[in-house]
């Protein structure tokens, strides 16, 4: 099987020749490994056997935009970021003090700019026959909203049912829909949506608030995608504890859920497989916050084999770590995981 065939088989809930994988490396980890092994930009993905190649098309790409430590930059949204620690963090929210009229007058970036799709086009041209190509259109609603407005302001807007929240989120739904549909037209294999809805203990907002503000707009985005291609696979990413809305995301038309962060409350991968695995493809794996960092290589290998055997039974499973592999992860643990995957 090619990588593309392998992923499509898993999405159809068939057992492919092996469980497909999409292992993420944080930018700093990738730089370290590329330097240690003299690898080019995509060689690490190909060496570890990633079946999916994906690129950012929206705001979440700014988190790993190259910048020197302490350097600030302004992105296409007018948001100021500063490189602190491993990732870039927002320091200036351009709509923090905006009223309804100012938010209504705000113009989102051009969703159809050719520059946005340059890397996607390269991936499709070079690897589209062999690999499964993804278009990452996250954050889709919640994350760009709080980057633009500020988390506290956005939460107050929603709690007070202020019109600023609806105006801003409608703009973001339109932008995300346009980027998603354009990526479908350009030949991607799935559209990747998502927002981090959870903390370690619970959702960041109540399930009812999610239903009021985000569920109908996510439905609109998915409907736009499916109007362009009815069978388009749609993946959804949310870190943290977000179990209360998994069933509703599935009902909206989500096919794949990631990362099913087992260190967060209620996100038991085996339980989610039992509850939803006949309809939902799980894209998950070992915890990167503590387990991959502190476990022994033997423990990592055993955990990897267990996940492949249990979650991979009957298809509907893509192996990947719970998020990016962090730079303090022992290399021998990464090697143990890959050796277990290779059998």
In a domain, 28, yes or no: yes
In a domain, 85, yes or no: no
Q: Read off the tokens for 282.
A: 């799980």
What is the pLDDT averaged over residues 30-49? 94
What pLDDT is stored for residue 86 in this prediction? 87
What pLDDT is stored for residue 214 in this prediction? 98
**Model confidence at 163, in pLDDT bands (50, 70, 90)?**
very high
In a domain, 68, yes or no: no
In angstroms, the CA 7 to CA 11 distance is 6
| CB 49 within 8 Å of CB 35 | no
Strand partners, 318: 283
Q: What are phi and psi of 337, to 5 degrees?
A: -65, -45
On the 0-12 / 13-18 / 19+ scale of CB atoms within 10 A, 18 is middle
Q: Which of 335, 336, 341, 338 is nearest to 36 (CA)?
A: 335
Q: What are phi and psi of 323, to 5 degrees?
A: -165, -150
What pLDDT is stored for residue 85 in this prediction? 86
**Model confidence at 41, in pLDDT bands (50, 70, 90)?**
confident
Which pTM was predicted?
Answer: 0.97
In a domain, 305, yes or no: yes
Up-side HSE of residue 114: CA atoms within 13 Å toward CB? 0
In a domain, 116, yes or no: yes
Strands 190-194 and 132-136 turn out to be parallel
Report, in angstroms and rounded to the nearest whole number, the Rg of the chain calculated over CA atoms. Answer: 19
In a domain, 183, yes or no: yes
In a domain, 306, yes or no: yes
**List of residues 6+ apart from 122 with CB closer than 8 A:** none
In a domain, 160, yes or no: yes
pLDDT greater than 90 at residue 260: yes
Q: Which residues of 319-338 are buried (b: 16+ CB within 10 A; e: fewer)?
A: bbbbbbbbeebeeebbebbb
Q: Which helix (H) or strand (E) holds 302?
A: helix 297-311
Give Cα 180 distance to the centre of its chain: 14
Q: Which domain range does residue 297 map to?
A: 3-61+96-341
Domain count, the chain: 1
Where are the strands (E) in 240-308, listed by range? 256-258, 281-284
Strand partners, 299: none
What is the pLDDT averaged over residues 218-239? 98
Decide which of 342 and 221 is more confident. Answer: 221
In angstroms, the CA 278 to CA 106 distance is 43
Q: What are phi and psi of 233, to 5 degrees?
A: -65, 140
Provide the CATH number for the domain around residue 248. Answer: 3.20.20.210
């Amino acid at each position: 099987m090619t990588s593309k065939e392998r992923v499509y088989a898993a999405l159809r809930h068939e057992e492919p020749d092996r469980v497909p994988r999409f292992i993420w490396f944080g930018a700093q980890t990738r730089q370290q490994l590329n330097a240690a092994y003299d690898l080019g930009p995509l060689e690490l993905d190909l060496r570890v056997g990633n079946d999916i190649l994906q690129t950012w098309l929206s705001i979440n790409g700014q988190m790993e935009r190259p910048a020197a430590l302490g350097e600030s930059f302004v992105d296409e949204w007018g948001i100021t970021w500063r490189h602190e620690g491993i990732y870039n963090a927002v320091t200036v929210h351009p709509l923090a003090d905006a009223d309804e009229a100012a938010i209504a007058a705000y113009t989102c970036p051009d969703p159809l700019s050719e520059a946005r799709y340059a890397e996607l086009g390269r991936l499709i041209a070079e690897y589209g026959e062999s690999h499964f190509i993804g278009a990452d259109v996250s954050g889709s609603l919640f994350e760009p909203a709080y980057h633009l407005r500020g988390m506290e302001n956005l939460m107050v807007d929603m709690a007070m049912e202020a019109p600023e929240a609806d105006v801003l989120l409608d703009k973001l739904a339109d932008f995300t829909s346009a980027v998603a549909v354009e990526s479908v037209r350009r030949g991607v294999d799935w559209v990747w949506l998502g927002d981090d809805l959870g903390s370690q203990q619970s959702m960041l907002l109540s399930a009812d608030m999610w239903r009021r503000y985000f569920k109908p707009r996510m439905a609109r985005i998915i409907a736009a995608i499916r109007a362009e291609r009815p069978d388009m696979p749609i993946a959804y990413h949310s870190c943290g504890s977000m179990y209360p809305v998994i069933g509703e995301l599935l009902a909206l038309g989500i096919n794949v859920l990631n990362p099913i962060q087992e260190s967060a409350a209620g996100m038991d991968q085996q339980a989610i497989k039992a509850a939803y695995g006949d309809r939902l493809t799980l894209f998950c794996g070992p915890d990167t916050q503590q387990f991959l960092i502190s476990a022994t290589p033997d423990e990592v290998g055993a955990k990897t084999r267990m996940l492949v055997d249990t979650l991979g039974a009957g298809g509907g499973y893509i192996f990947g770590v719970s998020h990016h592999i962090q730079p303090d992860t022992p290399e021998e643990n990464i090697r143990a995981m890959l050796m277990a995957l290779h059998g």
